[in-house]
A and B are shown apart, each in its own frame.
Chain A
Amino acid sequence: MTRALTLLRRRLVGSIFVLLIVIVGTFLLLEAAPGDAVDAYMVSTGGDAGMIELLRHRWGLDQSELTRLANYLWALLHLDLGQSVTFSRPIRDVILERLPTTLLLMVSATALSFGLGSALGVYAGARPGSFRDRLLSIGSLALYAVPGFWLGLVLIVVFAVDLRWLPIGGIETLASDKTGLDRAADIATHLILPVSALGFIYLALYLRMMRAGMAEVWRQDFVLAARAKGLSRRRIVLAHVARNALLPLVTMLGLQSAQMLGGSVVIESVFSVPGLGRLAQEAVAARDTPLLLGIILTSAVLVIVINLLVDIAYAFLDPRVGAGEAGT
């Protein structure tokens, strides 16, 4: 237990440095953007040169870059991301409002890709070199080559336009006054297509990793020992080979979270899902750079938290983790 805690503390310290670098990076991008908050404000309200000077002074924009970076950090410490010009509301509130939808989309897509991907990987890896193994291997490669947003459009054409089985977009039926289970079912129906479009791309990744991992494990001595004991093939595959090949996939889960957040930007825009990704696209369209950078910072924090959780889960799953690092 203390071992896992030591590991966690080291990761936390590292994460703080990483977050600082991300913050400085976003600040530099913010500086590079043409115009500042006052310019953006003036576009929406109008005002003369005196007003501009006054606002620049009041918002601290006439100070040196270092002072402004310090102010930016100080504001972030208070979880203040600034004001969004497009929404006329604090950026933090806008982001927090959209975050749950994206999390729901990500968690569902991860469950789909991880669950189905590793199951199919076990199925393919149980008999390496067989027909089904080759078929799944080529199929997953083809799936990996499909752009998620295009898959989304194809799904819309087939299931929403032609067959009319599923809604074309959005997260729930508008103005339907549904509550409780009805509402949950409604949201689930709306999520089927976007979750499939996002999840199927990564499904191929987990399938291939699982299969490759199993190929490695097959060669190890304990598999031979299990065979010598006379265990059934099914038991060897499930209890010994697949179980040991599963661990690297858990690490991938954390590494993949950043990519999946990026992927959800396009998927949310295809299905008009009002989440963080769609917000990013709205911010780009409205040239609301502070909002966009707020989204990037939030995503970075999210990715760091997910990776910490994965590290903790890993320490519990694999007793060997940290055994060598605990002494240092």
Chain B
Amino acid sequence: MSPLRCFLRTPEAVAGAILLAALIAMALSAALLFPGDPQAIAGPALLPPFQDWSLPLGTDRLGRDVLAELFHGARTSLAVGLAAAAAALAIGSVVGTLAGFAGGLVDEVLMRITDAFQTVPGFLLALAFVSVVGPSLGIVVIAIALGTWPGPARVARAEVLSIRERDYVAGARVIGMHPLAIAFREVLPNALPPVLAMSSVIVAAAILTEAALSFLGLGDPNRVTWGGMIAEGRAVLRTAPFLSIVPGIALVLTVLGVYLAGEGIVETTAVRRGLS
């Protein structure tokens, strides 16, 4: 069975793929469908949804178009989630490979540093980092990655420990390859599959962390974020709860889509490896 057909056989994976595709379409079409500044005033303040069809989801406290903000928010969520997860996976697999391959003191020091990062609550670390350095999209990405890389590092290290005893690694040593070249060109690529299997969970966690940071007012102030929209709607929670509820639903669907599609991919590849 081809991997695609195997993937399509599980209804959960298909649902996840559809959710993700819709999100990506939203993010890509944001600038086309809603050109101009989504933070500009578009109509009367606090217009309820489904009243005026030029503003389908109504407006917020300052008269901004909620639908436009939602589309532009999808871009931020997706960009930050993917970038932070990529950074965390990259740092994690490099640290894990170095620790596992070098062993001894290097391993001990790197793993204690990993412990330290796991001991400090990731969200507090991100909060402190952003508040010290200042909020911008890049800083938020680094802040989230700082709290997320230990997980992949541990998985990579465990995998490297079993790989470094294999024959082809011994072979590479015999032909006189530099140890760093062996670590990163022979061992690391082979240790990646279980690390990459974590990526859906990490992307999902990164999206949620970004939302929580911007909810507390630590997101990039020049970008629309779903967390920021929820915080903005909180001021009128009694009279216009939809302003907080709508972006939250977008968040839930996004994270759910990432989980479901991710689980589908992992299961598909696991089935394929089991068959071969």
A17 to B114, CA, bound (A): 12
Closest B residue by C-beta to A258: B121
Q: What residues of A have a CB within 8 angstroms of the CB of B255 in the complex?
A: 144-145, 147
A293 to B132, CA, bound (A): 11
Question: Does residue A262 face the partner (Cβ distance < 8 Å to B)?
Answer: yes
How many A-B contacts if CB must be within 8 Å?
140
A292 to B132, CA, bound (A): 10
- Given A149-B212, A284-B218, the answer on whether A265 and B259 have CB atoms closer than 8 Å is no
Contact A17–B216 (Cβ < 8 Å) = no
A265 to B131, CA, bound (A): 14
Question: Does residue A32 face the partner (Cβ distance < 8 Å to B)?
Answer: yes
Question: Does residue B175 face the partner (Cβ distance < 8 Å to A)?
Answer: no
Q: What residues of B have a CB within 8 angstroms of the CB of A304 in the complex?
A: 119
Contact B120–A145 (Cβ < 8 Å) = no
**Nearest Cβ on chain B to A191's Cβ, whole angstroms:** 20
Question: Does residue B37 face the partner (Cβ distance < 8 Å to A)?
Answer: no
Q: What residues of B have a CB within 8 angstroms of the CB of A293 in the complex?
A: 128
**Nearest Cβ on chain B to A277's Cβ, whole angstroms:** 8
- Point out the residue from A17, A146, A295, A300 that lies within 8 Å of B112, measured CB to CB: A17
Q: Mark A132-164, 1 if CB is under 8 A from B, else 0.
A: 000000100110111111100110110001000
Question: Does residue B4 face the partner (Cβ distance < 8 Å to A)?
Answer: no
A67 to B260, CA, bound (A): 52
Dominant SS among interface residues on chain A: helix
Contact A153–B216 (Cβ < 8 Å) = no
**Nearest Cβ on chain A to B80's Cβ, whole angstroms:** 14
Q: What residues of A have a CB within 8 angstroms of the CB of B112 in the complex?
A: 14, 17-18, 21
Contact A145–B256 (Cβ < 8 Å) = yes
Contact A259–B132 (Cβ < 8 Å) = no
**Nearest Cβ on chain B to A141's Cβ, whole angstroms:** 6
Closest B residue by C-beta to A269: B216
- Given A147-B248, A289-B132, A296-B128, the answer on whether A281 and B120 have CB atoms closer than 8 Å is no
- Given A18-B112, A144-B259, A149-B212, the answer on whether A262 and B119 have CB atoms closer than 8 Å is no
Most chain-A CB neighbours within 10 Å: which of B120, B245, B255, B259?
A: B120
Contact B127–A22 (Cβ < 8 Å) = no
Contact B115–A14 (Cβ < 8 Å) = yes
> What is the size category of the interface that chain B forms with chain A?
35 or more
Q: What residues of B have a CB within 8 angstroms of the CB of A146 in the complex?
A: 248, 252
Question: Does residue B44 face the partner (Cβ distance < 8 Å to A)?
Answer: no
- Given A149-B212, A153-B248, A284-B218, the answer on whether A25 and B116 have CB atoms closer than 8 Å is yes
Question: Does residue A188 face the partner (Cβ distance < 8 Å to B)?
Answer: no
Q: What residues of B have a CB within 8 angstroms of the CB of A262 in the complex?
A: 121-124, 147
- Point out the residue from B113, B127, B132, B256 that lies within 8 Å of A21, measured CB to CB: B113
Q: Which of B22-30, B55-63, B230-238 participates in binding chain A? A: B230-238
A149 to B216, CA, bound (A): 10
Contact A149–B215 (Cβ < 8 Å) = yes
**Interface residues, chain A, CB within 8 Å of chain B?**
14, 17-19, 21-22, 25, 29, 32-34, 138, 141-142, 144-150, 153-154, 156-157, 161, 255, 258-259, 261-263, 265-266, 269, 280-281, 284-285, 287, 289, 292-293, 295-296, 299-300, 303-304
Write 19 A-B pairs (CB below 8 A) sorted by A numbering.
A18-B112, A21-B115, A21-B116, A32-B133, A145-B255, A145-B256, A145-B259, A153-B230, A153-B237, A154-B245, A161-B241, A258-B119, A258-B120, A259-B122, A262-B121, A263-B123, A287-B131, A300-B116, A303-B119
**Interface residues, chain B, CB within 8 Å of chain A?**
12, 112-113, 115-116, 118-125, 127-129, 131-133, 147, 204, 208, 211-212, 215-218, 227, 230, 234, 237-238, 241, 244-245, 248, 251-253, 255-256, 259-260
